[in-house]
A and B are shown apart, each in its own frame.
Chain A
Amino acid sequence: MKNETVERKFLPEMPRKEIDELKNTVKTASQKIMADNIERMKKADPHRPEAMKYFDEMADLFGKRPKEIAAEKEKGKKVIGYFCLFAPTELILAADAIPVRVNSGWYDTSKLGDRVVPVEVCPVIRSTIGAKMIELSPFLEQSDALISVLTCDGMTKLSEILSDVKTIWGMNVPRIKDSTQSLRFWSDEVRHMKTQIEQFTGNKITRKKLKEAVEATHRATKAFRRLQDLRKGNPVIMGRDAMLVNQTFLWDDKQRWTEKTEALCDELDKRVQRKDWVCPPETPRVMVTGTPMFWPDNWKLPTLVEEGNPQGVIVADEQCSGERVLNDPVGVDEWSMDDMLNAISERYLMASTCPCFTSKDGNEDRINWLLNKVKEWKIQGVIYYVVRGCMLYAMEYTRVKKTLDKINVPVYYLDTEYTREDVGQMKTRVEAFLEMLNARIDM
C-alpha cells in the first residue's frame, strides 16, 4: 500500500467512523444475501451433491478463504489481485504469490461509487470503487498489488482511480488479436509482467516453477471442462451451483479447488447413471451471455431463471465470471521458459472472447463460441444480460442477435443495474421468455 500522505486524486477522504459503520452495515447485509442465495440453491435441488458443501463454504467472502490468505500473508506470501481474466495467473503462482480476482458484486457499494464517478458508469466499476472506499472486500484489501488489464473504458479508468491507494500494474491489451504484431506486443507485456512480479515478490520465476504452475492450471482446466461437459446432457446440476463452482476458482486455492471439482464431477457421473435429473429434462435449456455476474449480490438473474414459473435451467454461459474463466489450457510444446511464455501469451490473448476485441470480421471468436455452445449444449434460448453502462456488450448485441436469429434460437436482451428494486420487472420479462421457450418446445 502507498503512503497515506500521498495526495488522493479521486477517492475522498472518509472519517474512520463512517468507513467502519458503512462497512459493517454492508457486510451484515451481504452475509444475509450469501446465506439466502445458498439456501435457495439448496432448496432447488433436493439431491444436491455432497461436494457442494465445500463450495458453499468457499463462497463466504468473509469466511474461511480470506482467513487462509491472511495466514499465508503472515508467512510472507504476497497477494496479487486482478480484475480481468487476461492477468496471467500462472506467473503469479510461479512466484509463490496468491492470485485473487477482486471485481465487486456488491450492489450497495455501487451507490458509494457514485460519490466518485457519475451514475452512467458501469456498476461493476462503481461498486468496486465503493468497496475500496469502505474497505469491504477482504481480497481487494489483502492484495499487495493489482493487475489491471486495460480492456474496457471502465477498467482502464478504474485502475487510475484505485492507484490513489494501491499499487497498480497496467497491462495494455491490443484490440485486434488476429495479427502477429498484436501477439508480439502482448507477449512483451506478459514478459514485462513476469519481471514486475519477480521484483515485487522477490521470488524468481524459474523454469521449474512456471512449469508447475502451468501444469497445475492444466489440471484445473481439465476439471473445469469436465464439469461443463456434464451439463451437456439432461441436467444433473443446477446452473447456479455450477456457476458458483466456476466462480470460486477465482479466489480459491487452485489445487484444492481442482480436487473438489473432480469429486463433484464423480458424484454427478453417478447421478447421470441413476438418471437423477435436477429438473424435468424438458425444462427449457438457457444460456446466459454478456456482462459478468459477480457473487454474491448479482445472483438475481440465475435465481429468476431457475426459480421462475415456468422454470428454466442454465446449462451454459459465455461470461468472464463463468465459463470463460478456465475454458482454454495453455498449449506448451517444449517446456523452455521462452516457449512457456509464448504459450501463456497466446492463451490469454487468442482464446479470449471479450467484446473489447474486434477484427475485420468483428469479434468472430465470441460468435463461434456461442454457436458451438448452442449446438453442443442444446441451448433453447439465450439471455443476453447487460448492466447499464456496459457499452461493449450492449453494442455487440445486434451482431449476436442476428447470428442467433439465423439458427432460430431466441435471444432476449435484459438490461439491469446493481439494484434489487427491479427484480419484479425482470421476473415478468424472464418468465415471458421462458413461457415462449416452452411454447416453442411444445410445438
Chain B
Amino acid sequence: MDLGTQRVQVVVLKDGAVVARAFAYSGFDPTKAAEQAVDEALRNGHLKLSDVNHFAATGSAMDMAPYANSKVSMMGADAKAGVFLVPKARTIIDVGAEEARAVKCDEKGIMVDFVVNERCAAGAGAFIEAMARALEVKLEEMGPLALKAERASPINASCVIFGESDVVSLIHRQESKPEIARAVFDAMADRVSAMVHRLGINPEVVLAGGVAKDPGFVASLNRKLGLNVIIPDNPEYIGALGAALIAATRVKGGA
C-alpha cells in the first residue's frame, strides 16, 4: 500500500509477480481510502483478505495504513521497484503530487543516496494542477498542449504561488496556451533536474510516480537532463510495488 498525498495505490504480489492493483483517492480519510483500494485489488485478483501473508505500507501517510505488518520508506521502495522493473536502473526519479525525489541505488535495488525536493510543491504534480486551473484546461490536456509549443517562454517557478503569478503575466503578454503549458513543464523540470544533479546522474535513469504519465513533463525533463529517461508501465504504482517487494523478502526472511 502506498498512501500518497493524493492517491492510495495498492499492489498484490504473488510468487514475485504482480497479480492485481487498484487505487483510491486519499481524500480526508487515507485509512478508509486504503481499505477501499485493498478491497478492490483483492477483488480484481479473486483473493480474500486472509490470503495475504504480509501487508507493507509506504507513502507519506504510511502511519495511517490499515492492516500494516511493516513499513518501508518511500525512497527504499523506489529503489527496490525501480531495479525490479528496469534491472539496469541506478537512478530513480519519483515525481508525485506533492513531492519529488531522486534515489541512487545499487544492482540489488538497495538505495545508497537520495534527495527530496525542498519544502515546496513547485517541482511536483500539484504545480501542474494549479497551472492547468490558471489556463482553464483539463489536467490531462496540459501535456499534449505543451508538446505543440514552438518555443519556450521561461517562468521562474520558485513556488506554486509565484509560478501562478508568472503564468498570469504570460497570459497578459498574450502568449499562446501551448507555450505557457510548456513553460510550466520546463520550470518544473528545471527544479527536478537541479535536484537530480545534486545527487549525480547514474544511468540508467527511471522516471516514475504519477507525473511520469504526463508527456509534457517527460519531454521537458529529457531536454533538461539531456537523456531519455525510462518510464516503466504503471509508473504511479512504483511505491506500492517497492513496498510489496521488500515485504516479500521480509516474509521469506522469517520477519
Taking A424-B60, A439-B110 as contacts, is the C-beta distance between A432 and B75 under 8 angstroms? yes
Return the contact of A432 from the options B73, B118, B119 (Cβ within 8 A).
B73
Tell me the complex Cα distance, A436–B116, Å. 15
Q: Is the CB of B76 within 8 A of A436?
A: yes
Q: Is the CB of B110 within 8 A of A431?
A: no
Produce 1/0 per residue, A9-39, CB < 8 A to B: 0000000000000000000000000000000
The total of chain B residues at the interface (CB under 8 A) is: 16
Q: Is the CB of A309 within 8 A of B71?
A: yes
**Which residues of chain A are within 8 angstroms of B76 by Cβ–Cβ distance?**
432, 435-436, 439
Q: Is the CB of B111 within 8 A of A415?
A: no
Indicate if B12 sits at the interface (CB-CB under 8 A): no
Produce 1/0 per residue, A395-412, CB < 8 A to B: 000000000000000101
Near A by CB (< 8 A), chain B positions 196-244 give: none
**Which residues of chain B are within 8 angstroms of A440 by Cβ–Cβ distance?**
110, 112
Q: Is the CB of A429 within 8 A of B116?
A: yes
Q: Is the CB of B119 within 8 A of A436?
A: no
**Which residues of chain A are within 8 angstroms of B60 by Cβ–Cβ distance?**
424-425, 428
Indicate if B23 sits at the interface (CB-CB under 8 A): no
Tell me the complex Cα distance, A309–B76, Å. 14
Closest to A413 in B: B115
Closest to B60 in A: A428
Q: Is the CB of B74 within 8 A of A422?
A: no
Q: Is the CB of B113 within 8 A of A431?
A: no
Q: Is the CB of A435 within 8 A of B113?
A: no
**Which residues of chain A are within 8 angstroms of B116 by Cβ–Cβ distance?**
429
**Which residues of chain B are within 8 angstroms of A425 by Cβ–Cβ distance?**
60, 119
Indicate if B127 sits at the interface (CB-CB under 8 A): no
Q: Is the CB of A436 within 8 A of B111?
A: yes
Near A by CB (< 8 A), chain B positions 69-107 give: 71-76
Tell me the complex Cα distance, A410–B118, Å. 19
**Which residues of chain B are within 8 angstroms of A431 by Cβ–Cβ distance?**
73
Tell me the complex Cα distance, A425–B119, Å. 9
- Chain B: minimal CB distance from A400 (Å): 13
Tell me the complex Cα distance, A435–B70, Å. 13
Taking A410-B112, A432-B76, A435-B76 as contacts, is the C-beta distance between A415 and B71 under 8 angstroms? no
Closest to A401 in B: B198
Q: Is the CB of A439 within 8 A of B111?
A: yes
Q: Is the CB of A428 within 8 A of B74?
A: yes
Return the contact of A415 from the options B74, B114, B119 (Cβ within 8 A).
B119
**Which residues of chain A are within 8 angstroms of B118 by Cβ–Cβ distance?**
415
**Which residues of chain B are within 8 angstroms of A422 by Cβ–Cβ distance?**
119
Taking A415-B119, A422-B119, A428-B60 as contacts, is the C-beta distance between A436 and B114 under 8 angstroms? yes
- Chain A: minimal CB distance from B108 (Å): 9
- Chain A: minimal CB distance from B127 (Å): 17
**Which residues of chain B are within 8 angstroms of A435 by Cβ–Cβ distance?**
72-73, 76
Tell me the complex Cα distance, A422–B111, Å. 24
- Chain A: minimal CB distance from B58 (Å): 10
From B71, B114, B115, residue with most partner A Cβ within 10 Å: B114
Tell me the complex Cα distance, A279–B71, Å. 21
Closest to B73 in A: A432
**Which residues of chain B are within 8 angstroms of A436 by Cβ–Cβ distance?**
75-76, 110-114
Q: Is the CB of B114 within 8 A of A432?
A: yes
- Chain B: minimal CB distance from A104 (Å): 22
- Chain B: minimal CB distance from A110 (Å): 15
**Which residues of chain B are within 8 angstroms of A410 by Cβ–Cβ distance?**
112-113
**Which residues of chain B are within 8 angstroms of A433 by Cβ–Cβ distance?**
114
- Chain A: minimal CB distance from B234 (Å): 23
Closest to A443 in B: B110
**Which residues of chain B are within 8 angstroms of A429 by Cβ–Cβ distance?**
116
Tell me the complex Cα distance, A435–B119, Å. 22
Tell me the complex Cα distance, A124–B200, Å. 32
Tell me the complex Cα distance, A436–B79, Å. 11
- Chain B: minimal CB distance from A419 (Å): 10
Tell me the complex Cα distance, A410–B112, Å. 8
**Which residues of chain B are within 8 angstroms of A428 by Cβ–Cβ distance?**
60, 73-74
From A416, A428, A440, residue with most partner B Cβ within 10 Å: A428
Tell me the complex Cα distance, A385–B111, Å. 21
**Which residues of chain A are within 8 angstroms of B114 by Cβ–Cβ distance?**
412, 432-433, 436
Tell me the complex Cα distance, A424–B119, Å. 12
**Which residues of chain B are within 8 angstroms of A412 by Cβ–Cβ distance?**
114
Closest to A398 in B: B198
- Chain A: minimal CB distance from B142 (Å): 27
Tell me the complex Cα distance, A424–B61, Å. 9
- Chain A: minimal CB distance from B124 (Å): 13
Tell me the complex Cα distance, A286–B73, Å. 18
Tell me the complex Cα distance, A440–B71, Å. 18
Tell me the complex Cα distance, A364–B110, Å. 33
The 5 closest A-B pairs by CB, nearest first: A432-B73, A432-B75, A439-B110, A435-B73, A436-B111
If A435-B72, A435-B76 are given as contacts, then 15 extra A-B residue pairs at C-beta distance below 8 Å, sorted by A number, are A413-B115, A415-B118, A416-B119, A417-B119, A422-B119, A425-B60, A428-B60, A428-B73, A432-B75, A432-B76, A432-B111, A436-B111, A436-B114, A439-B111, A440-B110
What is A's interface to B at a CB cutoff of 8 Å? 309, 410, 412-413, 415-417, 422, 424-425, 428-429, 431-433, 435-436, 439-440, 443
What are 16 of the A-B contact pairs (CB < 8 Å)?
A410-B113, A415-B118, A417-B119, A424-B60, A428-B60, A432-B74, A432-B75, A432-B114, A435-B73, A436-B110, A436-B112, A439-B110, A439-B111, A440-B110, A440-B112, A443-B110
